[in-house]
Structure 1
Amino acid sequence: MYKVVSKRELTDNIYLMDIEAPRVAKSAKPGQFIIIKNDDKGERIPLTIADYSKDKGTVTIVFQAVGRGTKELASFNEGDYVADFVGPLGQPSEFVYEDINELKRKNIIFIAGGVGAAPVYPQVKWMHDHGIDCDVIVGSRSKELLILKDDLKKVSKNLYISTDDGSYGFNGRVTDCLKHLVEEKGNKYDHAVVIGPMIMMKFMASLTKELNIPTTVSLNPIMVDGTGMCGACRVTVGGKVKFACVDGPEFDGHLVDFDESMRRQAMYKTEEGRSQLIIEEGDTHNHGGCGCKVD
């Protein structure tokens, strides 16, 4: 059992929780995720690690209450316990293995869309703690939906806010904001890390390719099972089959086949779609035994 140490609502239907999980906190690195179960019979919910404290033994998660499992999790309060909290899972961000002095010579920009601000935060914080200054763009549909703005401001060199409706900061999408910074402000970036909805990452990767900025994306939005067993997070990267939860969740954004991934994501939601995927993907479909059965 894992105790809910603190809970707060960041904005409408989006919650932050600190969970007491010392062993996970001790091993966690930026870019990884956990799987939480509310009770013994609950569904497995993969969530990106939004922060962690080795001293306190806590791991921070941020989630949007949209399905049955996350809505139930939102009903938990401080002092309550969840049944399972497994992690850290997935591969850490590549930069944690890079030479610090090399990283300091780079101009890196992090770009978050919506709830993507949660997985961006621990990465920017890690950079800040190691003396590396980074720019950050956070985008949302409106001012009311912004999350972690103040937290990110503390660890960013420059924080740019972009809202689709112009209610706060830059008036436009995150792609418009980046283009403005590069083409009109003259900012130069050596690398971009982009995390958000799949469609946002697709268009951002297209833009950064045009701007000649190497780009990393996190495919955490397509994970379901979180262990490579269900096959929902299958994606083609550079012509090779990968699974976001075990091979990622971070990949070269210029090599990801976003259209195929989003199509699979839609098909995987129905029994008919899963059957069609078995036919289309043949021997490569049952990576790890995804649970889809053929008569």
Structure 2
Amino acid sequence: MYKILKKKTLAENIIMFEVKAPMVAKSAKPGQFVIVRIDEKGERIPLTICDYDKDLGTVTIVFQVVGASTKKMSKLSEGEFLLDFAGPLGNPSEFVSLNTDELKKKKFLFVAGGVGTAPVYPQVKYLREKGIDCDVVIGTRNKDLVILKDEIEALGCRLYICTDDGSLGFKGRVTDFMKKLFDEGNSYDEVVAIGPMIMMKFVCLLTKEYNIKTTVSLNSIMVDGTGMCGACRVTVGGETKFTCTDGPEFDGHLVDFDEAINRQNMFKDEEVRRLHHSRECSCF
């Protein structure tokens, strides 16, 4: 059993848990994820690690309420427990394998869409702790959906906000702002994009024009988290990969995004059906 030490609502339907999980915290690295299960009848929920503290033995996760299981998890309170909290799973971010001298030769641009800001945070934190220069762009529909703004600013990197309605920061898409950065003479060795699949697709189309290496995280299509269900199959460079075991991060210029988007949409109707069913059951 894993105790929820802290719960915080970051935005509408976006919840943060700080969980006591010493063994997971001890081995966690940026880019990895955990599998959470609420109870014996609960489904497995893969969630990218947002933060971890090896000394305190805590791991922070952020999730969006999109289906019956995440709706149920959002009802848990501080002091309550999760049955399973398995991890860390998946491969850490590629830059973790580089030494500090190698990293200091690079400049990173992180592009986060909505709840994708959560897995971006530990990567930026890791680099900033080593004194590595990086910029961060967060894109959301409006200012109320921006999360972890203060936490990222506290890391000392340059943070830019883009909102569709212009309620905060730049009005427009993250790709529009990225192009503005590039055209103004800002140069980057690598772009890391995490967010909605369609956002990552167009980020990669743009960075390919500018010949900038781009890494994406396909965590949103994971289901089982062990490679056994096959739901997270994706074509990368003409080869079939499993997001949970081969990723979750891949070379964005090699990902077949159209296939990945179609695969992700396969489960939407089932999620809606289960969510409606859970609401009906709660009425009796």
Q: If the length of structure 1 is used for normalisation, what is the TM-score?
A: 0.90
Contact 1:136 1:156 in 2 (8 A): no
Distance 1:77 1:270, change over 3 A: closer
Which digits, 9 at most, give the CA deviation of each residue in 1:199-251, with x for residues without a partner?
00001000010111100000001111111111111000001100000000000
Structure 1 pair 236/168, CA: closer, same or farther in 2 (3 Å)?
A: same
SS of alignment partner, residue 253 of structure 2: coil
Percent identity, please.
64
Equivalent residue for 1:51?
Answer: 51
| Alignment partner, residue 274 of structure 2 | none
Runs of 4+ in 1 over 2 A off after TM superposition: 264-271
- Equivalent residue, structure 2, for 1:264: 263
Read off the aligned partner of 1:145 and give its amino acid letter.
Answer: L
Q: Deviations over 1:33-63 (max 9, x none)?
A: 0000011111100000000000110000000
CA contact (8 A) 1:133 1:156 kept: no
**Any idea what SS the aligned residue of 2:154 has?**
helix
Matching residue of 2:186: 187
Query: Alpha-carbon deviation of 1:22?
Result: 0.2
| TM-score for the superposition, normalised by structure 2 | 0.93
1:60 aligned onto 2:74: no
Counterpart Cα distance in 2 of 1:120 and 1:43: 25
Q: C-alpha separation between the residues in 1 aligned to 2:156 and 2:134? A: 6
* Distance of 2:108 and 2:156 partners within structure 1: 11
Unmatched runs of 5 consecutive residues or more in structure 2: 271-284
Match for residue 228 of structure 1?
227
Partners of 1:256 and 1:156 lie apart in 2 by: 32
TM superposition shift of 1:270: 7.2
Match of 2:278 in 1: none
Tell me how far apart the structure 2 counterparts of residues 95 and 101 of structure 1 sit (CA, whole Å): 12
- Contact 2:49 2:61 (8 Å CA) reproduced: yes
- Give the number of the structure with larger relative contact order, counting CA–CA contacts within 8 Å between residues 6 or more apart: 2
Q: 1:158 aligned to 2:162? A: no
Aligned to 2:22: 22
Q: Give the aligned CA root-mean-square deviation in angstroms.
A: 1.2
Q: What SS does the corresponding residue of 2:260 show, helix, strand or coil?
A: helix
SS at structure 2 position matched to 1:96? helix
Q: Secondary structure at the match of 2:216?
A: strand
Equivalences for residues 1-295 of structure 1 within 5 A: 1-183=1-183, 185-267=184-266
**Cα displacement (A) at 1:265:** 2.5
Give unpaired runs (5+ residues) of structure 1: 272-295
